[in-house]
Structure formats: structure tokens, C-alpha cells
Amino acid sequence: MATNPGFEGKVAVITGAGTGLGQAAANSLAGQGAKVVLSARRREKLEETLEKIKKNGGDGYIVEADVSKEEDVIQLFKQAKDHYGKVDIVVVNAGMNGVWAPIEELTFEEFTKTVDTNLHGSFLTIKHSVPHLKAAGGGSIVVVSSVNGTRMFSNTGATAYVATKAAQTAMAKLLAVELARDKIRVNVICPGRIDSEIHTVGTDARNLEKIRIPRDYPEGEIPLTGKEAGKASQVGDLVSFLAGNQSTHITGTEVWIDGGQSLIQ
């Protein structure tokens, strides 16, 4: 049985659900009674997520998809609808850090690869979710962005990543207005340093020492916790808050979850 049935009868689609923040969002939503559709490119990672959810009494379904490919995204929502009958919640989480390098050395192909996943993938996920959310009478879209590109600009070299995160946030705000009459809320989460896979193995860094601006935080860069990163589960719980009944008058809003990190960098 779900530990907290706040989402009983709701169906949530989560992209990038195999690891990190997507997995945490899936765990949080499923733990509160939602049926979760888990999507990512690597099935083995999705199966690990689903195993944890089922072990805790939750209900989930796997759809492999690359969000940068429109047909994959179309099929993701078709299969979600076919399996569970509707879609109420969409967590736009699939993304990559990509290559971080001096602008002269960053290739157009490297830049485009990050844009294809982070920005084009977000656009396609939202675009193809909207008809299903309208059919359900409304719903919630939660976009996972970053402190980078929204309130923090000190990670020189992250040109492609920062551009996509800023664009994600602007797009979400515009769509919050466009979709409000359809009772579809759109909000943005901006995590700082979180203990998750994208922050530990997800960056292809190249020659950053050439362009780094020196910064020194002897007691740690996060005012609230010092040197301790935030937890993925904290982000997952924030997703649930923004997707649920406690936030029904919140739309077009960014929420920074970074322990104050972005305020001093």
C-alpha cells in the first residue's frame, strides 16, 4: 500500500526516471499513491527504479524513450494513456550536463547535443503531454531546471547547459500563462548541488582551468549545510508538492532548492 495516498487515482509521467532526481520524483509520487510512467533511454536503470517502487507497494510502468526524438515522445504519452487511461502529472526531468569548455573550444555539435536533450526534449515532452492533460481536465507540469542559468552564472564553460536551463525556465513561465485557462499549472524547480548522478558523472569538462574565476568557500559553498550537498529525495518531495493539491494556486514559479548556494555565487 502507498504510505501516503495523496495522489491516489493520479497518473504521472516522469522523464529521466532511471537515476537521480527523476528516480527520486518517481519514488515520492509513487509513495503517495500515484501510478508512475517511468521513461529514460536505458531500460536497465528504469527497471531498478520500478523494482524499488514495487517493493514499497507502488505501481509503475516503463516506456523507453529518447526525449530528443519526437516519435519517441509521442509514443511515450500514447503508451501511458493506453496503459493507465490518462495523464495528470508530467515531470520534465530528462537532461544532461554535456560538455563544459571554453567557448572557443566548444564545438557546434557539442552545443547542439545538449540543446537537443535539454531544451528540445523539454519542448517535445510538454507539447505532447498537453492534449492528455487537457483531456484529464487539467494537471501539473514540473520542469527540472537548475540554479545555473536562472540565478547563478559563475560556472564558466557551461555555455550550452546554462543556455538550455535559462530557456527552459522562460518557456515554462510563458506556458504557465498560455495553459492556465485549461487548468494546467507549469512550475520550475532549480536545484543546486545535489547528491545525484548528473553531478557526479554527468559532465564532460575540458580545459576549464583556463576560464575559471577563483572562488573560495573555506566552510563550504552552501550556506545552509556547508559542504554537504542536498539530497535527491528533497527534490523529489518538492516535485510532489508542486504536482499536488497543496500548490493549486501556484503556477509560473521557479523554486530554488539549493540551501542558499546560488545567493553567494
Determine if residue 227 is left, alpha or beta; phi over 0 gives left, psi from -120 to 50 gives alpha, anything else beta: alpha
Active-site option among 61, 84, 161, 217: 161
Task: Domain ranges for the chain, please list them.
Answer: 11-259
Going residue by residue through the chain, which has 265 residues, state the pLDDT in tens, using 9 for 90 and above. 345 568 999 999 999 999 999 999 999 999 999 999 999 999 999 999 999 999 999 999 999 999 999 999 999 999 999 999 999 999 999 999 999 999 999 999 999 999 999 999 999 999 999 999 999 999 999 999 999 999 999 999 999 999 999 999 999 999 999 999 999 999 999 999 999 765 555 789 999 999 999 888 889 999 999 999 999 999 999 999 999 999 999 999 999 999 999 999 8
Q: How far apart are CA 77 and CA 100, in angstroms?
A: 32
User: Is 161 marked active-site?
Assistant: yes
Q: Return the H-helix or E-strand segment holding 92.
A: strand 89-92
**Which CATH superfamily groups domain 11-259?**
NAD(P)-binding Rossmann-like Domain (3.40.50.720)
Q: Are 12 and 129 in contact (CB under 8 A)?
A: no
